[in-house]
Amino acid sequence: MPGTVSSTTMSPASAISPNRRAFLAVSARFGLASTLFPGALYTLAAQAQAASPVASPELPKITPEMIDAAAALAGITIATDQKQMMLDGLNEQRSGYAAIRKLHIPNSVPPAYIFDPLPPGAKVSTEKHDPVYSTAVATLPKNLDDLAFATIPELADLVRTKKVSSMDLTRMYIARLRKYDPMLHFSITITEDRALAKAREADSEIAAGKYRGPLHGLPWGAKDLLAVKGYPTTWGAGGFEKQTLDADATVVQRLDAAGAVLIAKTTLGALAMGDKWFGGRTRNPWNPKQGSSGSSAGSASATSAGCVAFAIGSETLGSISSPSTRCGVTGLRPTFGFVPRTGAMALCWTMDKLGPICRAVEDCAIVLTAIYGPDGQDLATRDAAFNWNADFDWKSLRVGYIAREFEPDKPPSPTEKQAEPSTAEEKKKREKHEREMAAYHARRAYDRKYDLAALDKLRTMGVNLIPVTLPDLPYGAMTALLTAEAAAAFDELTTTGRDKLLTEQGIEDWPNDFRIARFYPAVEYVQANRARTLAIRQVSELFHQVDVIVASSNSDQLLATNLTGHPAIIVPNGLRGADAPAPPEIDTGDDDQIGGSGTPVSITFLGGHYQDAKLCAFARAYQEATGFQKLHPKLAASS
């Protein structure tokens, strides 16, 4: 299963993201201090073992003093007689951890439960129809490189009619990968031998009249958390650079069956966080001084740069949305359970999703048609239908918009203001923070103009926009589910100390997050999942009122809908003008909308569970009305 995401787009004032979690901030923000007791005991016992002058394979017995220390950390009080009653049970409970760890469970083994995003009474159509694609008649340019930014229907028409060969396209895209990778750092492995063999096979089949469909002969890139036999599958992480897996991921097998040609394994932030991987940082083709965001960093960057016809990414919490926004491409995050994750790295079994990153909406629909549906291995995948119809009457859809997301940011209330600094150093830090926040809000205000322009455009298209309200629930408090599952997925990294091999070691990075997750008790995990059930039911209610919801890409909906499993499609929404606020001097990865003249913005459309085809039909109508998908960066190869 795929672990995905990572650099989220939550604003500093809205929600703490799972990859931006400092322990004290989480405790204060979400009230978790009183839930840390079991993890605190384990940690205190481990520390006592480490402090012992004689190394011992056994953790020391939990003592009343340890319970006192853990209780103080947890902010609770336990009476003396209660502590004595607890000791035997706590020691016995802890003894079971080692037995399970001795199993050395691989990342590919899921927990013995299956997440279902559907609320009670939901019905899913399983009746499948042949897809209906748009008609594209493409002209072969004199310079083959001029096809680099063509859509899938355009490329498919040229390949089907034998105006261009798969081999020519494959060689052209591989040459572009090599040309621009030194500047953008978007590929980990170019699968040239495999690609040329598949391209040769595609050309032979097409010549013999055995055309497999619109992906036949088209080169693509796979986020390097997808297993490909015979090549490294690195997960973007130090310590995994030479890892190989002995079978192709299901998505890879399905794209092979569709005749597509895998040419590269693209970068991802280490273990699906952000855009920094063991080889450096993947860059934004529109402004290479900025990162591409992540974690589907290379898939978005390579697609944006015209170095693949399409790519596969994955999302847990923003990993398709964020880089699609930053790189100005179209990303489809399907309904949870639409695409099997077999052969993909697991990060969070109840949130991971695989999806296409392309130039245009119909490209995404074509790719999803090839990869969706059960495989008998990923038991979370549902037998639901995705019936793409390019002729669907999108005007029949009811369209809502999250009204709050299109309003100006509210100034902080008096209760949110901090006390005046008492020292010169504190004053300096306060002034720096205030400057950063003022710049952040200026960028937000500038970008909101593009969101509002999207609403205006939809109205000129005849869309009657219905205001809706995102349910008021503590979505941020539920994100600890992600890091708890991620810490389990990579348990041995923490317990063996191999987490030191990961490139990023800061307060906001996986090694620290995994350690923090040790303090998250099972009871609170279950409670957060119960809150998630409420979120699923209440967000799903919105789709009884409307079929599609328009949302700002940089908003709370990203967190909410990743928790509830609803689909989203992120489409380019123009370029920032010369009057755009300047971006920060350093791209920290904290904010995807750091802006700057000539960089892309996006808008997001949301849909009901397994209503991805209708969602794509509406997004395609908007895209055809605006034409923003036709914009692409002007690149110069690095020296």
Tell me if 393 is assigned to some domain.
yes
Confidence of residue 19 (pLDDT cuts 50, 70, 90): very low
Query: pLDDT at position 33, please?
Result: 34
What CATH number does residue 383 fall under?
3.90.1300.10
Q: Is 319 a catalytic residue?
A: yes
| pLDDT confidence bin for 54, thresholds 50/70/90 | very low
Report pLDDT for 92: 82
Q: How many domains does the chain have?
A: 2
Taking only the tens place, the pLDDT of each residue in 543-597 is: 999 999 999 998 999 999 999 999 999 999 999 999 999 999 888 877 777 989 9
pTM of the model: 0.90
Pair (556, 488) in one structural domain: no
CB 216 within 8 A of CB 258: yes
Q: Can you tell me the distance from the alpha carbon of 156 to that of 220, in angstroms, rounded to the nearest whole number?
A: 13
Percent of the chain at pLDDT exceeding 90: 74
14 pLDDT above the threshold of 90: no
User: In this structure, what token pair is assigned to residue 340?
Assistant: 């099997």
Whether 88 and 198 map to the same domain: the answer is no
CA distance 316 to 296: 11
Lowest mean pLDDT among 89-98, 236-245, 528-537, 619-628: 89-98
Q: Cβ distance 276 to 504 under 8 Å?
A: yes
Are 239 and 322 in a shared domain? Answer: yes
Catalytic residue among 7, 295, 314, 540: 295
Lowest-pLDDT choice from 94-103, 176-185, 613-622: 94-103
Beta bridge partners of 310: 220
- Please indicate whether residue 353 is annotated as part of the active site: no
| Angle (deg, nearest 10), helices 152-160 and 166-184 | 150
Asked if the structure places residue 128 within a domain, the reply is: no
Residue 31 has pLDDT above 50, yes or no: no
Q: Is residue 407 part of a domain?
A: no
Residue 185 lies in a domain: yes
Q: For residue range 233-265, what is the model confidence (pLDDT) as tens digits?
A: 999 999 999 999 999 999 999 999 999 999 999
Q: Which domain holds residue 176?
A: 150-400+547-630
pLDDT over 70 for what percent of the chain? 89
What is the pLDDT, as a whole number, of residue 408? 87
Same domain, 214 and 329: yes
Is 66 in contact with 45 (CB distance < 8 Å)? yes
Instruction: Determine the average pLDDT of the residues in 297-303.
Output: 98
CA distance 329 to 309: 12
Beta-carbon count within 10 A of 413 CB: 7
Q: Catalytic residue, from 223, 276, 353, 614: name it.
A: 223
Predicted local distance difference test score (pLDDT) of residue 386 = 98
Same structural domain, 372 and 263: yes
Cα–Cα distance, 385 to 542 (Å, whole number): 22
Same domain, 357 and 504: no
Domain identity same for 210 and 92: no
**132 part of a folded domain:** no
Task: Please identify which of the residues 165, 319, 322, 555 carries the catalytic annotation.
Answer: 319
Q: Is the pLDDT of residue 298 over 80?
A: yes
CB of 218 closer than 8 Å to CB of 168 = no
295 is catalytic: yes
Distance CA 269, CA 288 (A): 17
Is 292 part of any domain? yes
* Residues found in the chain: 639
Write out the two tokens for 112: 């013995």
- 99-113, 268-282, 291-305, 459-473: the lowest-pLDDT one: 99-113
